[in-house]
Amino acid sequence: MLFRDKRQENVVAEIERFCGMIGEAVSEHGKMVRDYLEGNEQFREESKHVHELESGADLIRFEVEREMHRGAFLPAYRQDYIDLLETLDRVANKAEDSADLIVLARPEIPEEIKDDLREICDLTSKCYQPIPEMVRSTLRDEHEVQEQVEEIGRLEQRIDSIQFYAVHRVYRELDLEKIDKLVLKMVIDLICGVSDRIENVGDRLSIIAIKRKMA
């Protein structure tokens, strides 16, 4: 293990809590999208919860970074971990952006793409599922993450394919005003952007693992 003292153990626990909060934001975002598609007004509260989770994660991140600047972890690893936290934070930021657009624009979602959006949310949750354990393993220097990174990549490819055909359907098959098509594309892209950011986290963890091997 890479821990030098009790303080460092506490920082690791906070990073794990941070990962859990990001995961909650991803889950709540998915629930919000599904409820919006079903016309359930609960989506408003779920959108607020996404904001609260993102804000709470920010507070943890700032405290963890402060402890790193005070000397937690070996110097060779600090910047990698700071970059990892930033990459994770972007997952929650994208979920927040997506929730904001839906709440503010209240787009009319055609029935023809609702199932696509539901599947994207399901796959996005699956993308994030291995992330907390991958982060934990990286912090504790216990095992490889490449297998999970590749699985996240496969899930992301499925999401990209669904995204492509959903946007194609909006522009080529549905009788909508141009502005409505544009808003729908923005909604689809933002929802899919959450899994894009999760894939970036996997890539960041893969880079850290490679650097460890070379050290």
- Euclidean distance between CA atoms 146 and 213, whole angstroms: 13
Say what the pTM is: 0.94
In SS3 terms, 112-135 reads as HHHHHHHHHHHHHHHHHCCHHHHH
Mean pLDDT to the nearest integer, 56-83: 90
Nearest to 53 by CA among 88, 105, 1, 101: 88
Specify the pLDDT at position 10.
87
Q: For the chain, what percent of residues have pLDDT higher than 90?
A: 80
The per-residue pLDDT for range 4-37, each reduced to its tens digit, is 567 788 888 999 999 999 999 999 999 999 999 9
Of 194 and 12, the structure prediction assigns the larger pLDDT to 194
Asked if residue 118 lies in contact with residue 35, where contact means CB atoms within 8 angstroms, the answer is no
Residue 119, amino acid: E
Residue 71: which region, alpha, beta or left (left: phi > 0; alpha: psi -120 to 50)?
left
State whether the Cα torsion 93-96-100-102 is positive or negative: positive
Domains and CATH numbers, the chain: 6-214 (1.20.58.220)
The per-residue pLDDT for range 124-183, each reduced to its tens digit, is 999 999 999 999 988 877 667 889 999 999 999 999 999 999 999 999 999 999 999 999
Specify the pLDDT at position 202.
96
Q: For the chain, what percent of residues have pLDDT higher than 70?
A: 96
pLDDT band at 1 (very low <50, low <70, confident <90, very high): very low
- How far is the CA of 15 from the CAs of 7, 10, 61, 89, 128, in angstroms? 13, 9, 8, 11, 15
- Euclidean distance between CA atoms 65 and 46, whole angstroms: 28
